[in-house]
């Protein structure tokens, strides 16, 4: 039976570099991983000035740190609750969320509030870069 943790996050407001109580996508992922799964990841908020700059830095820094050999996350084929989902919109991976179950994820975008998305939704299904599971959840 799935826990109802997404209800705590649905409706939260977006803020560039937000690390609480308003969030950007990585800030929300960071909060969910810590609060619901006891997984700490770096803030990275100090490494960029704006959301546009953040999107350009994502591949070079955050993705490599989180999903590289030392990052603690491994790419998996089938998503489960608590996995991080990464999206590529354009040339770069620049959006993320946390899987609620094998079809839905919690995320937040500029100009919108945090919500549940579906991996089979037309907006997302062709933009999924992959699913990543933390070593502590294997």
CATH assignment at residue 28 = 3.90.1720.10
Domain count of the fold of the chain: 1
More confident of the two residues 90 and 25: 25
What's the pLDDT score for residue 51?
Answer: 59
Rounded Cα distance, 75 and 123, in Å: 22
What's the pLDDT score for residue 114?
Answer: 98
Is the model's pLDDT at 95 over the cut of 50?
A: yes
What's the pLDDT tens digit per position in 22-69?
A: 999 989 999 999 999 999 887 766 666 665 665 555 544 555 556 555
Cα–Cα–Cα angle for 119, 121, 124, nearest 5°?
65
Is the model's pLDDT at 78 over the cut of 70?
A: yes
- For 39, half-sphere exposure in the C-beta direction (CA atoms, 13 angstrom radius) is 23
Is the model's pLDDT at 97 over the cut of 90?
A: yes
Give SS3 for 75.
Answer: strand
Q: Which structural domain, as residue segments, surrounds residue 14?
A: 5-137
Give SS3 for 44.
Answer: coil
Q: Which helix H or strand E contains 60, and what residues bound it?
A: none
pTM of the model: 0.87
């Amino acid at each position: 039976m799935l826990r109802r943790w997404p209800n705590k996050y649905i409706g939260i407001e977006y803020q560039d570099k937000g690390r609480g109580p308003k969030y950007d996508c990585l800030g929300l992922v960071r909060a969910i991983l810590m609060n619901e799964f006891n997984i700490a990841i770096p803030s990275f908020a100090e490494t960029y000035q704006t959301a546009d700059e953040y999107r350009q830095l994502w591949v070079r820094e955050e993705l490599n740190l989180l999903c590289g050999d030392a990052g603690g996350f491994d790419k998996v084929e089938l998503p489960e609750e608590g996995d991080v989902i990464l999206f590529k919109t354009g040339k770069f991976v620049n959006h993320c969320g946390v899987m609620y179950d094998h079809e839905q994820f919690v995320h937040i975008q500029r100009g919108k509030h945090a919500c549940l998305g579906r991996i089979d939704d037309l907006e997302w299904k062709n933009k999924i870069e992959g699913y990543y599971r933390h070593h502590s959840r294997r």
